[in-house]
Amino acid sequence: MSAIWTIARKEARSALRNKMFVTITVLFLGLSVLSAYIGSTTKHAELRIYNETVAGLTAQGITSLPPAAIAVALLSVVGVAVYFKRKGRR
């Protein structure tokens, strides 16, 4: 078991000495942080637009979905379920 740890320690040290490894690691970390920031900004923008839409509809007196919209949503779910059931039988 100690031979495995010796080899692993040697490989970890050589990876940290390699400038390419460190550069790629820092680049990956930076891109991950940038991606999280962009996702957060997009989410907040979409939420703001949604809240403005809800406020506008509420001001017009529209506070619930029409029954036809609910029926269409249910039919689309059933349609997808039937599609996957048929696809699985082939």
Determine the Cα–Cα distance for residues 23 and 15; give it in Å rounded to an integer: 11
Is 15 in contact with 21 (CB distance < 8 Å)? yes
Is residue 47 domain-resident? yes
φ/ψ of residue 64, rounded to 5: -140, 165
Tokens of 85: 């059931």
- Into how many domains does the chain fold? 1
Is residue 52 domain-resident? yes
Domain of 45, in residue numbers: 2-64
Is residue 88 domain-resident? no
pLDDT in tens, 4-60: 999 999 988 888 888 888 899 999 999 999 999 998 888 888 888 888 888 888 888
pLDDT in tens, 61-77: 877 766 677 777 777 87
